[in-house]
């Protein structure tokens, strides 16, 4: 295990709408006695998001992303993100500027207007890389006290963790396995299913809500078909799309689909924390729109009181 230290980049979605996901990460890191590797620093702004913004004004998008890199660079730290969208934006800026000196010069000209300059020293990681590369599967497994060996989990990698692979370089974009390995470190089974590499649909929501809902339902249909007990995600946008979006899509398409989907959705640190024996009440599952209680009862093989 490495002992590299990181500036934690919270992004916008997690602190504004899903603070319990942030807590789950911090709680698990604390359980692993690795909290000294994660630091909160002031000055970060929006990543900004990697879908619509670059299409409207790529230089502004790149400059804003790079400004965040300078904040971490001032502290001589790399960045770790809780969100795969933030990961893509910041990692893209980091990689592009490292390989394109003329582009860095242009960006620094803009940054100079606010008294900043990027030197190109910051690396960007997502929390999944932290667990896989820095903590390591062996240490995760050693901390498991409640092996989830009766649980089948459908992994949703999402788009922004894998593509563009030549920049993000996390895993094979066509046949990824690292998130499956992280899930199976808990003792659970990561199940294969059709449409596994499909987008959650969040990026299309502002353009056509019906298309986004259809994408959610098609993915859920395949997850239900293989009998998964839950889904696990690595991104707050994907979490919302399959948790809140599942409830909304099920109502919108109740006459089109036979299966009444009620598939719990867990952010990976929540799943990991359950295997560590952390009290489920700490993860504030009341905030989930799809009830997690049936999953918890299956894990414990006993009735679980209201959470």
pLDDT at 250 over 80: no
CB 245 within 8 A of CB 279: no
> Quick one: 22 and 92 in the same domain?
yes
pLDDT > 90 in the chain, percent: 82
CATH number at 101 reads 1.20.1050.140
Place 307 in a pLDDT band, splitting at 50, 70 and 90: low
What is the pLDDT, as a whole number, of residue 306?
59
pLDDT at 41: 97
Decide which of 127, 160, 176 is a domain's last residue.
Answer: 127
Confidence (pLDDT) at 52: 83
Question: What is the average per-residue pLDDT within 127-152?
Answer: 97
Q: Dump pLDDT digits (tens) for 220-248.
A: 989 999 999 999 999 999 999 999 988 88
In which band, very low, low, confident or very high, does the pLDDT at 279 lie, cut at 50, 70 and 90?
Answer: very high
If asked whether residues 287 and 143 sit together in one domain, one would say: yes
pLDDT, one tens digit per residue, over 44-81 is 999 999 988 887 899 999 999 999 999 999 999 999 99
In this structure, are 106 and 169 located in the same domain?
A: no
End residue of a domain, out of 70, 98, 127:
127
- Pairwise pLDDT comparison (17 vs 55), residue with the higher score: 17
- Asked whether residue 119 falls in the same domain as residue 214, the answer is no
* pLDDT grade for 142, boundaries at 50, 70 and 90: very high
Total structural domains within the chain = 2
CB-side neighbour CA atoms (13 Å) of 138:
2
At 153 the pLDDT is 98
Q: What is the pLDDT of residue 139?
A: 98
pLDDT (0 to 100) of residue 246: 86
150 alpha carbon, distance to own chain's centre? 24
- Higher-pLDDT residue of 255 and 212 is 212
Q: Does residue 306 form part of some domain?
A: no
pLDDT (tens digit, 9 = 90+) per residue, 94-137? 999 999 999 999 999 999 999 999 999 999 999 999 999 999 99
Residue 210, in any domain of the structure: yes
Q: What confidence score (pLDDT) does residue 181 get? A: 98
pLDDT at 54: 84
Residue 241 structural domain: 137-300
Q: What is the pLDDT of residue 152?
A: 98
Q: Are residues 147 and 202 in the same domain?
A: yes
Would you state the structure tokens that stand for residue 14, as one six-digit string?
């997690």
Specify the pLDDT at position 275.
98
Which long-range contacts link 289-294 to residues 24+ away (Cβ below 8 Å)?
Answer: 289/243, 289/244, 289/246, 289/247, 290/243, 290/246, 290/247, 290/262, 290/263, 290/264, 290/265, 291/262, 291/264, 292/230, 292/264, 292/266, 294/262, 294/264
pLDDT confidence bin for 207, thresholds 50/70/90: confident
pTM (2 decimals)?
0.94
For residue 257, the model assigns a pLDDT of 61
Residue 204 confidence (pLDDT) = 84
Residue 291: pLDDT band (50, 70, 90) is: very high
- Which residues are within 8 A (CB) of 31 and not within 5 positions of it... i.e. 6 or more apart? 143, 273, 276, 278
Q: Are 148 and 116 found together in one domain?
A: no
Q: What is the pLDDT of residue 1?
A: 45
Quote the pLDDT of residue 211: 86
């Amino acid at each position: 295990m490495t002992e590299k230290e990181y500036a934690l980049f919270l992004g916008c979605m997690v602190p504004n709408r899903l603070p319990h996901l942030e807590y789950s990460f911090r709680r698990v890191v604390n359980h692993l006695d690795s909290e000294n590797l994660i630091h909160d620093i002031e000055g970060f702004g929006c990543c900004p998001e990697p879908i619509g913004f670059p299409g409207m004004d790529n230089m502004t998008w790149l400059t804003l992303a790079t400004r965040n890199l300078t904040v971490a660079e001032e502290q001589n730290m790399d960045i770790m993100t809780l969100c795969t969208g933030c990961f893509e934006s910041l990692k893209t800026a980091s990689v592009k500027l490292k390989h394109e000196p003329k582009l860095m010069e242009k960006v620094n000209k803009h940054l100079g207007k606010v008294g900043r300059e990027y030197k190109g020293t910051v690396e960007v990681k997502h929390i999944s890389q932290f667990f896989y590369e820095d903590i390591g599967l062996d240490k995760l497994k050693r901390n498991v006290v409640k092996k989830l060996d009766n649980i089948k989990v459908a992994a949703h990698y999402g788009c922004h963790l894998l593509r563009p692979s030549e920049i993000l370089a996390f895993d094979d974009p066509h046949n990824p396995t690292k998130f499956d390995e992280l899930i199976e470190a808990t003792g659970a089974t990561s199940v294969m299913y059709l449409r596994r590499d499909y987008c959650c649909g969040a990026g299309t929501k502002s353009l056509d809500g019906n298309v986004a809902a259809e994408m959610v339902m098609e993915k859920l249909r395949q997850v239900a078909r293989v009998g998964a007990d839950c889904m696990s995600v690595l991104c707050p946008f994907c979490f919302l799309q399959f948790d809140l979006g599942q409830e909304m899509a099920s109502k919108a398409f109740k006459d089109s689909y036979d299966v009444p989907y009620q598939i719990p959705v867990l952010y990976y640190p929540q799943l990991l924390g359950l295997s560590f024996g952390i009290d489920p009440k700490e993860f504030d599952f009341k905030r989930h729109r799809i009830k997690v209680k049936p999953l918890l009862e299956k894990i414990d093989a006993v009735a679980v009181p209201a959470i």
